[in-house]
Amino acid sequence: MSSLLIRNGVIVTLNDDNDIIENGNVYIEDGLIVEAGTFNGDKYGADRVIDAAGNIVMPGLINAHHHLYSTFVRGFTPPGDPPGSFMEILERLWWKLDTALEPEDVYYSALLAGMHAARAGCTTIIDHHSSPSCVDGSLDLVEKALREIGLNGCLCYEVSDRKAQGLGIGENERFIRKCIQSEDGQFAGLFGLHALMTLGTPTLERCSEAGHSLGSGFHVHVAESEIDVDITFEKYQRRVMDRFLDFGIPGPKTVFVHGIHFGAREMDLLKTTDSVLVTNPESNMNNGLGMTPVLELLQRGVPVGIGTDGMSSHMISQARALYLNQRAYRRDPRVAFTESADILLRNNRVICSRVFSEPRGVLGSGYLADIIIPEYVPFTPVNRSTFYGHLLFGVSFARIGCTIARGKVVVENGRMTSVNEEEVRAKCVERAAKVWNRIE
């Protein structure tokens, strides 16, 4: 049995009562929180004690949609004219990148991005992977990287027909089955799909049958660009959510991503099927695609989550981008502030509760000991009504001094504890140069 005591912190529980405890403590045993409150620290004989020194102590963050494999594209400009449409972005950059990846690239790109996530306070990642030149076993490489860091992961492989019909179906089946048989709560699997514009009827039928036979949900991009909507209607005379419904894809465990070009019918179908929609504001702005109708979805009761879509591993900046984008678009300074923080801190943990067996996202008894201590000592009052302001205007710019995942310290004094950062970065520089050469 291992135990850890965090003392002298501003404990942001994120429980149902939004309790915030000054000069509070958190006691952890074997990866779970035993108690969070004002108890005497001497009550438990902890193996180790961490003094929070008046800093905020809060649950680890969750990324509800990532592409860890995109790590090596940073700073790279595709040869030729700049892409002028979303399809050109896919064809000239992302589909060349994923095809250029070799097994070692898959591993190191996940390892580096996982390091960045841990240092930004993210302890759980729901990832969507693609590497058409090395499909089999690729999810094991991503798992290996995240496990070495100590993070939690829900993984899938992106099935599409662009390289071969149904490429990746077997990898999804294998990994999901492996997670079920292992009963290891650290990792879970979803059945990955790219988007309707690259998925034909035979592949959708196979994916639907395989996913349902395993009791799995799906993880799929939807209506990210008008082209996905237009191609689907031209080929099948169906709207995107209606076509997914034809194959039984929507449901409580299914994670749809983007939904920028959703109409009222699509939003209503998300609600009636109890499906999840994850928005990725920085990525959508970067690609010039528009804005997910987040407030309309929330009004309908759709569980909206938030991710990075591979742009970065920094989650609080996504919440900032979400509320600022909504306000700028609507020209209304009254909207989306509370909603964006709720989506990050509460809705993302709801999504996790659908795909993982262990509860997380609350500092309370029985919850997974995923905890972060930003180097942020509040200089104005912190309470139920002010914390979101501290989060989005203060914690967002603070270094994460300590990240604890599953009860283990994975970041201490802003540095990784389980991997050699310098060695990893040097290896990634080497691997990235080779990937760039293959793309060009």
Asked if the domains at 3-60+358-416 and 61-355 fall in one CATH topology, the answer is no
Of 387, 389, 370, whose CA–CA distance to 150 is shortest? Answer: 370
- Say yes or no: domain 3-60+358-416 is CATH 2.30.40.10: yes
Q: What is the dihedral of CA 51, 52, 53, 54, to 10 degrees?
A: -150
Which tens digit of pLDDT belongs to each residue from 67-79?
Answer: 999 999 999 988 8
Contacts with 137 (C-beta within 8 Å, 6 or more apart), sequence order: 103, 171
Contacts with 390 (C-beta within 8 Å, 6 or more apart), sequence order: 56, 376, 378, 380, 382
Which H or E run contains 385? none
Cα–Cα distance between 267 and 277 in angstroms, integer? 9
What average pLDDT score do residues 87-104 get?
Answer: 95
pLDDT at position 81 is: 87
pLDDT at position 170 is: 98
Q: Over 80: is that where the pLDDT of 1 sits? A: no
What average pLDDT score do residues 215-228 get?
Answer: 97
pLDDT confidence bin for 158, thresholds 50/70/90: very high
Give the pTM. Answer: 0.97
Question: What backbone torsions phi and psi does residue 253 show, to the nearest 5 degrees?
Answer: -95, 0
Which tens digit of pLDDT belongs to each residue from 283-332?
Answer: 999 999 999 999 999 999 999 999 999 999 999 999 999 999 999 999 99
pLDDT confidence bin for 365, thresholds 50/70/90: very high
pLDDT confidence bin for 375, thresholds 50/70/90: very high
Locate the domains of the chain by residue range.
3-60+358-416, 61-355
Question: What backbone torsions phi and psi does residue 406 show, to the nearest 5 degrees?
Answer: 55, 35
Domain 61-355: which topology? TIM Barrel (3.20.20)
pLDDT at position 78 is: 86
Which tens digit of pLDDT belongs to each residue from 235-264?
Answer: 999 999 999 999 999 999 999 999 999 999
What average pLDDT score do residues 423-436 get?
Answer: 96
Q: Are strands 415-416 and 408-412 parallel, antiparallel or unpaired?
A: antiparallel
pLDDT at position 6 is: 98
pLDDT at position 80 is: 85
What average pLDDT score do residues 387-413 get?
Answer: 97
What average pLDDT score do residues 380-402 get?
Answer: 96
